[in-house]
Structures are given as C-alpha cells and as structure tokens.
A and B are shown apart, each in its own frame.
Chain A
C-alpha cells in the first residue's frame, strides 16, 4: 500500500520494472494501460491531470503501445503524448502506437460515432492511422463488486467504436 515517496524515483522504478518484464520477449504486441481510477462512477472522486508528469517514465518504457484514457476531459490534451510518444519504440525501428480511449466506461450516455471519429482525428495530427487503435478508456468492471456500467450500455459503446473505425477506414483508405 502506498505511502508518499519521491516522484522522480518512483517513475524511474516503474519504467525499470516494466522493461525488466518485457525486454527480449518477442511475439505479442505489448501495451501499457494508464487511467485515473475506475472504482466509482462519481467523476469528481477520480484523479485529474494530463500525462505530462508521466512522460519521464513513459519515454523510457519499451512497450509498443500506450493504452490511454482520453474520453474523459480529466486526461487533458492528446498533444501531450502525441508530441513525445509517436516516434519509434526506444532501440527499435517499430513506431509506437496509441490505444486511444474514445468512450468513457462509466457514463450511461453512449458517445456518438461522430464524437468518436472527431476524437480519433485529433490524434491523426501525431499518429498515422496504422499507429492508432481505438478503445474504451478503461474496463467496464475492473472491480467485480463495483462494475461501473451495465452490459447493454457497454455493448452500445463498443458498437459505436467499431462503426467509427469502419467510417474512418473508408475516409483514410
């Protein structure tokens, strides 16, 4: 359980840990997911802040994809990671990917296909369509006894993600 420590040390340690797990293992695409908490549907109790403070750790991680919350405005601007994390994975010729969060798993309103497309197009300023994955901001039930949504809404949300991707592929083919 957490107690306060030096933030710089913690970030360095976090990147050393993940690199030690993945270095030299080939085959799977390796992603790292970050969010600001998903234990409550009360947005105001979850964390707020963009990814800037995490960049010293993220830039050193040799993961292929960052799977990031971006549907919630609490996550800030896509440019923050777009500018720093859209080049190659360190030591590889493989471009880093972004798993862009385009729907909020905690809300009952389903994001429209147009909203999702617009969010994805913001990321295209920094990433190619091939580098860009579209996903939910987080899971729909990370804590079994504290699921943040119901199946019908979750299904409608992922359906709109798939439809947005289909239209984007047509547009950017």
Chain B
C-alpha cells in the first residue's frame, strides 16, 4: 500500500550534459558515453534507495529528452531541433511566437522526426532496464514515450508523407515498435512500464487556452 516511485527523469549533471553533447556531435564513442551515463545512473539509484522509494527508475540520463531519444534506436528517424524544423513549418511567425510565449528554447528541444521506414535498430530501453536491475533488488519502472505522443511528434509532413502517406499508417508502425519493446521488457522481468502521453492534455486543453504545441 502507498507504493512510492517517481515519474522518470532526474536532473542532469554538467558532466552528463557534456557527454550527451559530445555523443550527439560524434566526439565520443558509445562506450565512453555509457561509462559517463552508468555513473550517473548508479548515483540516481543510490539516492532513491537512500530516500526509501519502493520502485526505482534510472533517471533517463541517457536520453536527450523523453521521446527524442528514440532516434538513437529506431531506423528511419532523425533528431531535429525545433530551430531546424522552423524551415518545415508553414506558419513560421506563428510557430516562433508560440515557442517564445511558451518559453520553449528552440535550439535545446529536439524532435524525433520520421524520415524513412521505421524499425527498431536496437531495443529502446531493454538495456537500461538490465543495467538498473543489476544495481538494485527493488522493482524497476521503465518509461517509454506513448504511441499517441510519437504518432503526433514524429509526423512532419514534408519528411513523412512521402514515406507513409498518412499519419495512421505511420501510427501502426509506432504501435508495432512499442509492442515489441514491451514484450522484450516483459520477458526480461520488468515490473512496471510507464507510457508517457503528455500531449493528451494538449489535445483537449490548448484550444481553451488558445495555443498550439511544439510536440
């Protein structure tokens, strides 16, 4: 009763931010990146255990953001900053105004744009699960971007329409990829999988607020 946990991500240290940037720019190898991230995950797990939480997360240290990180794992995607995407938006001044009104830093927030046929090059979070599990005896929660979030954010008409034609066709592929991942996590014994669907609120609330979204 009253089981305690957290929703997923943890503040990144300066070292981790540097590793993320260097990895993105191809300045360090995957192994060097993982060495940096593993240390951060170890500390985050220890903090949660010391605090007394019941279900442990890895802090999402390896992720650029909670949904863009899939570009590392999924074929047919490209990591694009919102600033880069400005070229693809019809209403440029409206998009820029929205980013500024919502306090969204266009260069620091990146989107996983679908630019080709989607398939899992490697598991999205199975390795993260195995690593956390090696650090704790407690149940572990793994967070994944929800299928609605991905179906909305990955579709950028100029890039995606020629690949999938319709958003729903791309959505079927997103479902397949997430289902494969869930099955892998289930087989590995993962106790808790959380899908993140923050854009659901955007779908019903932004009209009331007279706003658009960047996701």
A residues at B contact (CB < 8 Å) = 1-2, 4, 7, 10-11, 13-14, 17-18, 20-22, 25-40, 42, 45, 47-49, 53-54, 57, 63, 67, 99, 101, 105, 120, 128-130, 132-147, 149-151, 154-155, 158-159, 161-166, 168-169, 172
Q: What CA separation (Å) do A31 and B104 show in the bound complex?
A: 27
- Mind listing 28 A-B residue pairs with CB under 8 Å? A2-B212, A2-B215, A13-B151, A13-B168, A18-B197, A28-B190, A30-B192, A31-B194, A36-B201, A39-B104, A40-B103, A47-B205, A53-B204, A132-B1, A135-B5, A135-B7, A137-B7, A141-B10, A141-B12, A144-B20, A145-B109, A146-B109, A158-B6, A158-B47, A158-B48, A159-B52, A164-B2, A168-B1
Query: Are the C-beta atoms of A138 and B7 separated by less than 8 Å?
Result: yes
Indicate whether B132 reaches chain A with its CB closer than 8 angstroms: no
Beyond A40-B104, A137-B7, is A120–B2 a contact (Cβ under 8 Å)?
A: yes
Interfacial chain B residues near A40, Cβ < 8 Å: 102-104
Indicate whether B163 reaches chain A with its CB closer than 8 angstroms: no
Q: What CA separation (Å) do A168 and B213 show in the bound complex?
A: 39
Query: Are the C-beta atoms of A27 and B189 separated by less than 8 Å?
Result: yes
From A27, A48, A162, B4 is in contact (CB under 8 Å) with A162
Shortest Cβ distance from A51 into B: residue:
B201
Query: Are the C-beta atoms of A144 and B191 separated by less than 8 Å?
Result: no
B residues at A contact (CB < 8 Å) = 1-13, 16-17, 20, 47-48, 50-54, 59-60, 63-66, 85, 89, 101-105, 108-109, 111, 141, 143, 146-148, 151-153, 155-156, 168, 171, 174-175, 178-179, 182-183, 185-187, 189-209, 212-215
Interfacial chain B residues near A17, Cβ < 8 Å: 146-148, 151, 171, 174-175
Shortest Cβ distance from B199 into A: residue:
A2
Query: Are the C-beta atoms of B5 and A21 separated by less than 8 Å?
Result: no
Interfacial chain B residues near A164, Cβ < 8 Å: 2
Query: Are the C-beta atoms of A49 and B208 separated by less than 8 Å?
Result: yes
From A18, A36, A134, A141, B198 is in contact (CB under 8 Å) with A36
Query: Are the C-beta atoms of B7 and A139 separated by less than 8 Å?
Result: yes
**Min distance, Cβ A44 to any Cβ of chain B, angstroms:** 9
Q: What's the dominant secondary structure at chain A's contact region?
A: mixed
Interfacial chain B residues near A63, Cβ < 8 Å: 195
Shortest Cβ distance from B182 into A: residue:
A25
Interfacial chain B residues near A140, Cβ < 8 Å: 6, 9-11
From B3, B9, B20, B105, A134 is in contact (CB under 8 Å) with B3
Query: Are the C-beta atoms of A28 and B186 separated by less than 8 Å?
Result: yes
Query: Are the C-beta atoms of A33 and B1 separated by less than 8 Å?
Result: no
Q: What CA separation (Å) do A22 and B60 show in the bound complex?
A: 22
**Min distance, Cβ A60 to any Cβ of chain B, angstroms:** 13
From A1, A28, A35, A144, B89 is in contact (CB under 8 Å) with A1
Interfacial chain A residues near B196, Cβ < 8 Å: 33
Beyond A18-B148, A139-B7, is A155–B51 a contact (Cβ under 8 Å)?
A: yes
Query: Are the C-beta atoms of A139 and B8 separated by less than 8 Å?
Result: yes
Query: Are the C-beta atoms of A141 and B60 separated by less than 8 Å?
Result: yes
From B48, B109, B148, B209, A14 is in contact (CB under 8 Å) with B148
